[in-house]
A and B are shown apart, each in its own frame.
Chain A
Amino acid sequence: MEPVLDNLDLYWSGFLRSLGIIGWSLLGSMVLGTVLAAFRVSPVASLRAFGTAWVTLVRNCPLTIVLFFMAFGLPEVGVNASFYVFGVTGLVIYTSAFVCEALRSGINAVDRGQAEAARAIGLTFGQTMTQVVLPQAFRSAVPPLGSVQIAMFKNSAVVGAFGVGADLFSVGKTLTSAQGYAYIPVLTGVAIGYLVITLTAGVLLGLLERKVAIAR
């Protein structure tokens, strides 16, 4: 494990960088996925169609292709940003489709009468969603949303491979190809870094699930 111990500071900054990618992607994909889920159940046909098209396209496209489009396609049409921004945006777009579907199953699990009662007291569609339907949908969607997000944590390594740089995955790449360390110890260190993130997330998720279960 010498290569890991020698480069602990590098690993640590890579770990933080990965956490950053994950944090932004988590936030972005939850917001975008929620908006898309609201589109998919909205009374406006064009919004529903947009949501469906988005989910179908994005979910059936490999993440690498989405990232290629971001990192190499967008600059071709004049959109310029750092690889970091492109990478995170790509991951947000990709993950949003899965968040949308997990949430939609949660929305469908909310009794129809809840939305009807909300509309009957005069809440608009938006208020019905934010005040009544989504809070309940999130509760029943906690387990599927959790697995979607843990999958996203792992996908953040793919974003790293796209040259975001300095994240946990790139640290592994630098140490092996540029500095000639052996693969097995270096990658073990990288894997441990990801495991710390995903296993911690798993524990937090378990706590959240229990809390939500008590609250109802």
Chain B
Amino acid sequence: MARTGRVWIVSGGMTTHRTAAEGGGSGEPLVVLDHVDKWYGDLHVLQDIELTVHRGEVVVVIGPSGSGKSTLCRAINRLEPIDQGTITLDGEPLPAEGKELAALRAEVGMVFQSFNLFAHKTILENVMLGPVKVRGIKKDAAEKRARELLDRVGVGHQAAKYPAQLSGGQQQRVAIARALAMEPKVMLFDEPTSALDPEMISEVLDVMVDLAERGMTMVVVTHEMGFARTAGDRVVFMADGAIVEEATPEQFFTNPQSDRAKDFLGKILQH
């Protein structure tokens, strides 16, 4: 991927900036998290998070269970409020509540581990709902676009079915199409393949790689190293609510710096 960008390597509280040989993004910051903290009661789930995602960049978030990866994703489109710090999207701080927040969420696509397709709506209706209700696009124009997107993710022929009639891999591809229909500035993926049978994982990853190649800005929580290596520009490793390490995928997987990362990789590489 011929992209340029910068990589932040954070270790032991020291931050060094450097240009990555193979980095993503046009250098223009799109999502900026500045000193973000969040608590669940006593649990400090996000600890002083500093993260900048540049336009066109693909950031892969990795870390042990409970390290706060989902919370980080959900904070970016404010499905979860944060307690301290700021998050900006394309220079605009996230609004607190109400219509402005809804408008912001339309700019941020989200794909969930459990797909969350609207169970009472057909595949086509799932993809059309946002454009029609949020963007106010005419039904026939929205349908045309929805069919294009469904074709693109390979489920065009399933348009009239209900989500429960589709396989997990198909459902997840529909969920990606539904998010894309809003023409988001950035897409968040929270373990999009973790709930899938092994034979369906690649059909979803292929769609995601294609998306990355078309220049979509992406934040992807995943343990799929293949994806991280092919499509990822940067790996962010989280543990206990903090970003412990950041590196290019190649550096991270072959030569992790922190003990936490070494330990973690040792575990996931065992199987």
Contacts and interface: CB of A to CB of B under 8 A. Distances in A.
A124 B79 contact: no
Interface stretch (A76-84, A110-118, A181-189, A193-201): A110-118
A184 to B, nearest CB: 50
A121 interface: yes
A121 B117 CA distance: 11
A120 B110 contact: yes
A113 B178 contact: no
A167 to B, nearest CB: 38
B116 A122 contact: no
A131 interface: yes
A123 B102 contact: yes
A124 B130 CA distance: 11
B2 interface: no
Given A122-B134, A123-B133, A139 B120 contact: yes
B119 A121 contact: no
A122 B103 contact: yes
Contact of B102 (A111, A124, A131): A124
Contacts of B110: 117, 120
Contact of B118 (A124, A127, A132): A132
B120 to A, nearest CB: 5
Contacts of B97: 43
Nearest to B129: A131
A215 B175 CA distance: 21
B79 A120 contact: yes
A123 B134 contact: yes
B202 interface: no
B16 to A, nearest CB: 34
Contacts of B98: 124
A216 interface: yes
Nearest to B79: A116
A211 interface: no
Contacts of A215: 120
A114 B116 contact: yes
Interface in A9-27: none
A113 B178 CA distance: 15
B258 interface: no
Given A122-B130, A122-B134, A124-B99, A116 B112 contact: yes
Given A43-B97, A113-B112, A116-B79, A121 B120 contact: no
A131 B129 CA distance: 9
A111 B77 CA distance: 20
Q: Looking at A116, A120, A216, which has the most chain B CB atoms within 10 Å of its CB? A: A120
B219 interface: no
Interface string A103-147: 000000001011011111111100100011001100100000000
Interface string B98-110: 1100111111111
Contact of B79 (A111, A114, A119, A139): A119
B179 interface: yes
B118 A118 contact: yes
Contacts of A131: 129, 133
Interface pairs A-B: 7 shortest CB-CB: A122-B106, A121-B130, A117-B116, A113-B116, A120-B110, A122-B134, A124-B102
Given A114-B116, A120-B112, A139-B120, 19 more contacts: A111-B116, A111-B119, A116-B112, A116-B116, A117-B117, A117-B118, A120-B77, A120-B79, A120-B105, A121-B105, A121-B106, A121-B130, A122-B107, A123-B129, A124-B98, A124-B99, A131-B129, A131-B133, A216-B164
